[in-house]
Amino acid sequence: MVTNTWLEIADINELQNTSRIKKRISDDLEVLIIKIGNSIFCVENRCSHDEKPLYDGNIYEQEKIIECAYHGARFDLETGKALRMPAVTPINIFKTKIENNKIYILLT
């Protein structure tokens, strides 16, 4: 996979009627794009506790937190930091930008 490059991943209109979409980047990487207000976050769609998808988790918009639907671990959407057990390690996050209504993520 190419690194240190911005990858166009979605059109902003895909988040018009939903606050989250998932996109497969490669065989072993799927990401979750989350819209909160005018901000776009991108995290790997994999919980660091037991590798379950985060897609179905609750999102706490004000705190910018996602809660895993499986065992309740919580993660900071801005830093990836694990905030609640049973997770202790962060999830992978990706910087995002929007240009010409396209959402890009930075692969590092």
**87 touches ligand FES by CB under 6 A:** yes
Q: Map residues 35-64 to x or -, x wherever contact with ligand FES holds by CB under 6 A.
A: ------------x-xx-x------------
Q: Nearer Cβ to ligand FES, position 52 or 102?
A: 52
* Tokens of residue 53, six digits: 């998808």
In the chain, which ranges are E strands?
5-11, 20-26, 29-36, 39-44, 58-60, 65-67, 74-76, 82-84, 93-94, 96-99, 102-107
Q: Which residues form the interface with ligand FES (CB under 6 A)? A: 47, 49-50, 52, 68, 70-73, 86-87
